[in-house]
Amino acid sequence: MNKQELKEKYGKKRVPHEWRKTDKISTLITTFFGSGMSPKAPGTMGSLAAAIVAYPIAIFSQSHLGQDEVFYIGGDNFGILISLTFLAAALFVFFAAIPFVKKAMKDTGTEDPGWIVIDEVCGIFMALAFVPSDVIIHSPWILAIAFGLFRFFDILKPLGIHKMEKLPGAWGVMADDLLGGIYAGISLFLIITLTVLLG
């Protein structure tokens, strides 16, 4: 749909945004319920929305799964507790979002536009997979640290994240944030561990 067709459809005084060119379901999912429609820093807004949603997810997980929510990886002296809830959430978002991201980019003729923030949601959930839900509930400041760490890796894209971004189509859009979430999660785990040891 060219600019003239968009004007005829939406009116001369109304400047349509790119997401109006795709269907409502794809828009709802890729913008994470509109958080990506923010005129400023949509990626930050999408990440913030994911961090906020993560708290009730942690409460739900802890109340229904309890200690079964975590999986231990490591030895007798050192290891990591993985939140199966947030790991599952991150992977679900990753694979479920692919067709919607693909359609949105095709309909709008764009490649990884800023308003697509479902990838940030995936990254935040992956970062929180390195923290048990009960820890998040009792120390909600962890959500702010996870948010900051993820944005750091998402913006700078070090350690191979930029290469993941170059994967074809929707896979590249989602994969770099998934990897960024892993790095953020490892960093978050180390910060929490040091805080406990030094505290």
Verdict on whether the full-model pTM lies above 0.85: yes
Q: List, for residues 172-185, the tens digit of each pLDDT value.
A: 999 999 999 999 99
* Greatest extent of the chain over all pairs of C-alpha atoms, in Å: 68
pLDDT for 171 beyond 60: yes
Strands (E) in 39-186, as ranges, are 70-74, 79-83
Contacts 24+ apart (CB under 8 A), 32-38: 32/117, 32/118, 32/120, 32/121, 35/117, 36/114, 36/115, 36/116, 36/117, 36/118, 37/115
With contact defined as beta carbons under 8 Å apart, do 144 and 58 qualify? no
pLDDT for 1 beyond 80: no
Give me the mean pLDDT over the 133-150 stretch.
96
Q: List, for residues 102-123, the tens digit of each pLDDT value.
A: 999 999 888 889 999 999 999 9
Token pair recorded at residue 44: 């930050």
DSSP-derived pairing of the beta strands 79-83 and 70-74 = antiparallel
**Chain centroid to CA 61: how far?**
18
Token pair recorded at residue 90: 């991150």
Token pair recorded at residue 108: 């709008």
